[in-house]
Amino acid sequence: MRSVLVTGCKGQLGIELSRSPPAGTETHGVDLPELDITDATAVMRHLESLRPQVVINCAAYTAVDRAESDADAAFRVNRDGARNLALAATRIGARIVHISTDFVFDGCKSSPYLPDDAPSPLGVYGQSKLEGERGVLDAAASALVVRTAWLYSAHGSNFVKTMLRLMQEKPELRVVADQIGTPTAATSLARALWALLEANAPAGIYHFSDAGAASWYDLACAVRELALPHLAATPAPIVPIRTQDYPTPARRPAYSVLDKTATWALIGNGRHWREPLAEVVNALLAAR
């Protein structure tokens, strides 16, 4: 039986990983307050006692806007915490899989970002995640760093759930239409991570999101279309707006589609983002 430690197990991705281990794998989930990954001593002690073969780090400071005014906390978790885990994994001979983000890029490209394209984050969150990637790769020779994007699930708070709620509460929704990326279901990412481990993927940086591309406006419209037949009242219409009309503390990349060619060569092609979106929206509507 292969033992896998999942940190951040109460988050969107951690929940889906904990639910979906392949046959022959058992997961051990930890999150705050049991294990704070910023505490290097506690991390070392935990790994030395559990001795997993693999550590998947889903723990992160993910509040992109709050990070702008709370940089110390973002760096402590996303840079220092990730490195603590990588050092401890190396010490016990475990492989670490670390999750990173499309926000390491500045969005100036207009074709999908390759894993070795030069990163240039626009904000504190992206910078802290980039330094986390580098710390992990430095500390753990066998590490897999998997960048993903626009994650959502039936759990926690995310754009899909927020849109579904607001379109039933507000008269109109105004959604940014000039930022392009790829919505990614946490279920899809969990499946991809298990497949990369099963494939014994060579160490390095990988990109994974669902397939295709969309703006936040496209995603909101897709959620509305899926929900429409199930709602008693007509959901609010959605109006496309420009980034400049929706100012936020953190700047976001205008384009952050990830090139998945190398990942797909190892684990097979992914699904278009609309397929898992339908599953999640249907599950959310059924649970009402």
Residue 255 is among the residues annotated as catalytic for this protein: no
Q: Which member of 101, 179, 182, 263 binds ligand NAP (CB under 6 A)?
A: 101
Torsion sign, CA atoms 149, 154, 158, 162? positive
Please give the Cα distance from 239 to 14 (Å, whole number): 33
Tell me if 113 contacts ligand NAP by CB under 6 A: no
Distance of alpha carbon 15 from the chain centroid = 12
Tell me if 31 contacts ligand NAP by CB under 6 A: yes
Tell me if 99 contacts ligand NAP by CB under 6 A: yes
Tell me if 217 contacts ligand NAP by CB under 6 A: no
The residue count for binding ligand NAP (CB under 6 A) is 28
Q: Which member of 5, 6, 17, 38 binds ligand NAP (CB under 6 A)?
A: 38
CB of 171 to ligand NAP, least distance (A): 27
Nearer to ligand NAP among residue 97 and residue 173 (C-beta): 97
Please give the Cα distance from 105 to 210 (Å, whole number): 18
**Quick one: tokens of 127?**
């910078």
Q: CB of 191 within 8 A of CB of 146?
A: no
Site for ligand NAP in 48-77 (CB under 6 A): 58-62, 77
**Quick one: tokens of 232?**
């008693």
Segment contacting ligand NAP by CB under 6 A, of 3-11, 105-113, 195-203, 215-223: 3-11
Collect all residues with Cβ–Cβ distance below 8 Å to 222 and sequence separation of at least 6.
214, 274, 277
Please give the Cα distance from 237 to 176 (Å, whole number): 14
Give kind and range of the element (H or E) at residue 127: helix 124-139
Q: Which residues are catalytic?
A: 125
Give the interface with ligand NAP as residue ranges (CB under 6 A): 7-8, 10-14, 31-32, 35-38, 58-62, 77, 81, 99, 101, 129, 148-151, 156
